[in-house]
Each structure stands twice: as structure tokens, then as C-alpha cells.
């Protein structure tokens, strides 16, 4: 049986060093939030989003945490075990691509529209940072920020 430290490390429960000084991470944060805000504003024109505080809090805090643990912590970790250290075009591993596709399909289960299909691209970003830092924290931060921007754009457009 693996020890607790090895298990935490392999599942991505580690704290990345110098995350907020990483220019790629900051660019992903700014660009992703901007795109999410615009997407939310466009969606607000076509769809209503009238929910209470608990649903919004779930969407911003609980859903990103749970989805990142399941998709990047379990699925991507499992799929990427045998490919560690291998370089791929655009630094997108097969494990990241497959996990992002499954992430998108999970969003289609409860929301079958164009915006659910667009979850593929943030999924690639979350997976990229999972592999870059061997940590779930960058993906959780990005996921929460993107969802916050999406809801903000949605509310401001209605």
C-alpha cells in the first residue's frame, strides 16, 4: 500500500510553488475570465439564470472542487500514469485530451447546448496546469474564477 505522501502527490493534492508568478497561469486566468464573462453575457441574452445564493455558491466553489478531483485528480491521473515525462505537441497529453472530452460530455448531460460543448477548451487548460504543476490547485482556482466570470456576465446581461 502506498504511503499517504505518495498518494497525495500522485492524485495532485500538492501546493504548487510560485503559481501566481507563472506568466502562463496569469495569462490563462485573465484570458479565461474575460472569455467566460463574454460567454456569460451572450448566454444571458438567450437563457435565464434565476437562482439563489446557494446555487451560485455551489457553481463557484463546490462544483469546481468536485469536478477537478474527479476529472484531473482521478481520471487524468489514471490515464497519464504510463506517459509521465513524454513530450506531446502543444503540450497536450492524450490523458488531458481524453479527460477534457469526458469533462465536456459530463456537462452535456445536464446542459445540452453550445456552451456545454465549449467546456472542452477550459478542460484542456485545467489539465495542462494539472500536468505542469502535478497539482489540482491551479485547475480549481481557474475553474472557480471562470465560473465566477461566467455568472457575472450572465447576471449583468439580464
Instruction: Look at residue 146 and tell me whether its pLDDT is greater than 60.
Output: yes
Query: What was the pLDDT predicted at 6?
Result: 66
Count of CB atoms situated within 10 Å of the CB of 19: 17
Radius of gyration of the chain (CA): 16
Give the integer Cα–Cα distance in Å for 44 and 5.
44
| Residue scoring higher pLDDT (130 or 7) | 130
C-alpha cell, 41: 453575457
- Can you give the pTM of this predicted structure? 0.90
Interaxial angle between packed helices 137-157 and 120-133, expressed in degrees from 0 to 180 and rounded to the nearest 10 = 150
pLDDT tens-digit series, residues 47-83: 776 678 898 999 999 999 999 999 999 999 999 886 6
Domain boundaries, the chain: 21-157
C-alpha cell, 51: 437562482
Q: Are 36 and 131 in contact (CB under 8 A)?
A: no
Instruction: Look at residue 9 and tell me whether its pLDDT is greater than 70.
Output: no
pLDDT tens-digit series, residues 99-141: 999 999 999 998 777 778 889 999 999 999 999 999 999 999 9
Residue 13 DSSP SS3? coil
Amino acid at each position: 500500500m502506498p504511503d499517504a505522501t505518495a498518494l497525495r502527490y500522485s492524485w495532485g493534492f500538492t501546493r504548487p510553488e510560485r503559481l501566481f508568478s507563472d506568466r502562463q497561469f496569469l495569462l490563462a486566468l485573465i484570458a479565461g475570465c474575460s472569455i467566460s464573462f463574454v460567454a456569460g453575457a451572450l448566454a444571458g441574452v438567450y437563457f435565464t439564470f434565476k437562482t439563489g445564493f446557494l446555487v451560485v455558491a455551489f457553481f463557484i466553489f463546490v462544483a469546481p472542487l468536485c469536478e477537478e478531483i474527479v476529472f484531473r485528480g482521478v481520471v487524468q491521473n489514471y490515464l497519464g500514469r504510463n506517459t509521465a515525462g513524454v513530450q506531446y505537441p502543444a503540450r497536450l497529453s492524450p490523458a488531458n485530451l481524453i479527460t477534457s472530452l469526458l469533462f465536456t460530455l459530463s456537462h452535456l448531460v445536464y446542459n445540452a447546448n453550445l456552451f456545454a460543448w465549449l467546456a472542452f477548451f477550459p478542460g484542456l487548460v485545467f489539465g495542462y496546469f494539472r500536468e505542469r504543476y502535478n497539482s489540482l490547485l491551479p485547475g480549481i482556482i481557474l475553474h472557480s474564477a471562470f465560473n465566477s466570470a461566467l455568472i457575472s456576465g450572465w447576471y449583468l446581461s439580464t
